[in-house]
Structure 1
Amino acid sequence: MSEVKLAAETRSEFGKGAARRIRRENKVPAVVYGHGGDTLHITLPGHELQLALRTPNVLLSLDIDGTNELAIPKAVQRDPLKGFLEHVDLLLVKRGEKVTVELPIVAEGELAPGANLLEYVLNTLAVETEATHIPESVTISIAGLDAGDAVHAKDVKLPSGTTLAVDEDAIVLQVLAAQAEEAPAESDEAAAEA
């Protein structure tokens, strides 16, 4: 898990106009909340935050007016057309604290021979883990799985210190048999011409 340091500035202006001014300066408006404290409105550098958010569940070390806070992203709003960051919600965490996060699922290996299809029933897996040791993803071996086989949440090998936050019997991946298309039936006219 990577920890990225960002310099944050507190902000006192709110609303659509203030947010637009912040974005024109290549910065991103953000909100920091958690641990029963007051919600803190901050501004973060846009480019550095964009690079940091490429890593799922990144741990951000925020320097806010001389105090250092750890936070993880909870909600990220992007422009639907251009993809730039519009707003970020951050959750304060402490070292040793357990948090619930969604980990991307990565399948590795080859399915059994045949025309089978792998279906991701879940794209992410909810787990509870220590805030400063969040795994980047969960790897599931699909080697040798055949049509009708499924991988349940309880079958996934999790890193030490990580527990499931979903039902153990939830299906994560399943293998489906590919359906062959039927050849179009020849019409009586085509058969008569032959």
Structure 2
Amino acid sequence: MAEITLTATPGRETGTRSSRRLRAEAKVPAVVYGLGRDTVAVTVDWRELRSALITDAGINALIDLTVEGEGESNLAIIKDMQRHPISHTVDHVDFLLIRRDQELAVDVPVVLEGVADEVENNQGLVEQSITLLTVNALPESIPDQLTYDISEMEIGDTVTVGDLTLPSGVTTDVEPDEVVASAQVSRAAIEAEAEEAELAEMAELNELAEAGVGEGDLAEGEGGSDEGDEG
């Protein structure tokens, strides 16, 4: 996994007003912690941070982080990131310092590939219930994503965590029978089938009515038949 170089500036003021001023200057408030160190309030340049986030690794990118005034850099990942609810700009970032030989628990995207033609031809759809899977891996082994080909799925099929192929050195504590995705008949198809059955029933009743046979006649006819059998 490629590493991104990022420089953080310490000594920022905390508080809402200060944070707003920093964002106006294209700076992002952040904190750095981990490896037994005290938490340090810093700022990072938005353009540099954006470069780190748009790699294939996304939020799990390995970052070669240098805090100005400290000299040497440290390996870090983004542990948490807060975005504005409307503009979706990054409001705050938590950087966690890590060791290369220390296993981490991180959330990795689960991506469904291919087209389930058999499902679509039967008016169904594939519903994904797990989009992020928590895995354990050394920093260098963290996958960008986990993929599964749904091309062969049929209505009623499910994909579980156990069906996913994890790269060498990567594990998960999630139970293997947890459902990742399932192929089901769509709600629209179910409603259409119910409506079709209702229309068919109404058509049958209309035919009986036109023939002069009512529900009472049918009941009497059935009763008369029983009496005739008994006689």
Number of corresponding residues = 190
SS in 2 for 1:163: coil
| Structure 1 stretches lacking a partner, 5+ long | none
Q: What is the distance in 1 between the residues matched to 2:75 and 2:104?
A: 13
User: TM-score w.r.t. structure 2 length?
Assistant: 0.75
In the alignment, which residue of structure 1 is the partner of 2:224?
none
In the alignment, which residue of structure 2 is the partner of 1:74?
79
SS in 1 for 2:60: coil
Give the CA RMSD over aligned residues. Answer: 2.1
In the alignment, which residue of structure 2 is the partner of 1:8?
8
Q: Deviations over 1:130-151 (max 9, x none)?
A: 1133111001121211111111
Q: Deviations over 1:63-88 (max 9, x none)?
A: 11222011111211112222221100
Counterpart AA for 1:108: E
SS in 2 for 1:38: strand
**Higher strand residue share:** 1
What is the aligned counterpart of 1:174 among 179, 182, 188? 182
Moved over 4 A (4+): none
Counterpart AA for 1:19: S
> Conserved in 2, the CA contact under 8 Å of 1:76 and 1:88?
yes
Quickly say closer, same or farther: Cα 1:12–1:27, change in 2 above 3 A: closer
> Conserved in 2, the CA contact under 8 Å of 1:100 and 1:165?
no
Q: What is the distance in 2 between the residues matched to 1:119 and 1:127?
A: 22
Q: What is the distance in 2 between the residues matched to 1:86 and 1:56?
A: 15
- By relative contact order (CA 8 Å, sep 6+), the higher-ranking structure is 1
What is the aligned counterpart of 1:57 among 50, 54, 60? 60
In the alignment, which residue of structure 1 is the partner of 2:223?
none
User: TM-score w.r.t. structure 1 length?
Assistant: 0.89
Counterpart AA for 1:72: I
Counterpart AA for 1:165: D
Q: What is the distance in 1 between the residues matched to 2:36 and 2:175?
A: 29
Larger radius of gyration: 2
- Residues 74-153 of structure 1: matches in 2 within 5 Å? 74-113=79-118, 114-153=122-161
Q: After the TM superposition, which of the residue ranges 178-187 and 106-115 deviates more from structure 2?
A: 178-187
| Structure 2 stretches lacking a partner, 5+ long | 207-231
> Conserved in 2, the CA contact under 8 Å of 1:152 and 1:171?
yes
* Deviation for aligned residue 1:94: 1.1
> Conserved in 2, the CA contact under 8 Å of 1:61 and 1:68?
yes
**Higher helix residue share:** 2
SS in 1 for 2:73: strand
Q: Deviations over 1:92-112 (max 9, x none)?
A: 111121111111111123325
> Conserved in 2, the CA contact under 8 Å of 1:56 and 1:103?
no
Q: What is the distance in 2 between the residues matched to 1:110 and 1:80?
A: 33
Q: What is the distance in 2 between the residues matched to 1:119 and 1:64?
A: 44
> Conserved in 1, the CA contact under 8 Å of 2:11 and 2:41?
yes
